Amino acid sequence: TLLLSSALIGCGSGESKATKETTPTVSVPKPKNFNIKTPVEMRNVTLKVFDNFDNSLVLERDLTTTSEIDIVLPKILDRDRLYRIEISTTPNSLIYDSQSRQYQNISITLHSLVEVNTNTLTQTIYISPSSEAVYQRALVRSGTLPTDANSTPTKISALQLNLATNDVNSALTNAFY
């Protein structure tokens, strides 16, 4: 028993554990990249990104084409807010008409509302007549008419955006049944 007890004492009782101190990993937030896609090419348009919470302009850029739009936002976005992307035409704007195979003059503003996805550094945003329909439906859900001169998109919540998206998707899907 003397040998057994001295062996156990030499090995330790196992009650105390050695701890290794580690420094926590600090992840530094990075500015978000947006890859913006349009269904047809437009030329000579203006792209704007707004913080939809306070309507502040995050980025404005004149584009010669919408075929490849990759932007790095100048600041870190708050993931608890909606952001509004607008593509507006200028007097020299053109859109490709696939029937005539030529560029035609166009005057339009298309919107897309997005929630920031923090899982990836690059987020793909689709801006199209469908995204405009969702935007206008979200305005209505927030109590504003899209034709109202005093309409303010800052009243749109994430819930209203999700419901508006479901409304438009259901209307498009049910149209063919």
CA 128 to chain centre: 14
Q: Both tokens of residue 157?
A: 């919540």
In the chain (177 residues long), the average pLDDT of successive 10-residue segments reads 48 54 59 88 95 93 92 80 93 92 94 86 91 95 86 90 95 83
- Give me the pLDDT at residue 93, please: 96
**Helix (H) or strand (E) run with residue 113 in it:** strand 109-115
Q: Answer for the pair 153, 141: CB distance below 8 angstroms, yes or no.
A: no
- Give me the pLDDT at residue 116, please: 84
Q: Answer for the pair 91, 56: CB distance below 8 angstroms, yes or no.
A: no
- Give me the pLDDT at residue 2, please: 46
Q: Measured on CA atoms in the order 25, 26, 28, 33, is the torsion positive or negative?
A: positive
CA distances from 126 to 83, 101, 107 (A): 13, 23, 19
- Give me the pLDDT at residue 29, please: 58
- Give me the pLDDT at residue 170, please: 93
- Give me the pLDDT at residue 24, please: 62
Q: Both tokens of residue 33?
A: 């990249």
Neighbours of 111 (CB within 10 A): 22
- Give me the pLDDT at residue 4, please: 44
HSE value, Cβ hemisphere, 13 Å, CA-based, for 33: 7
Q: Answer for the pair 71, 47: CB distance below 8 angstroms, yes or no.
A: yes
The Cα–Cα gap between 117 and 113 comes to 12
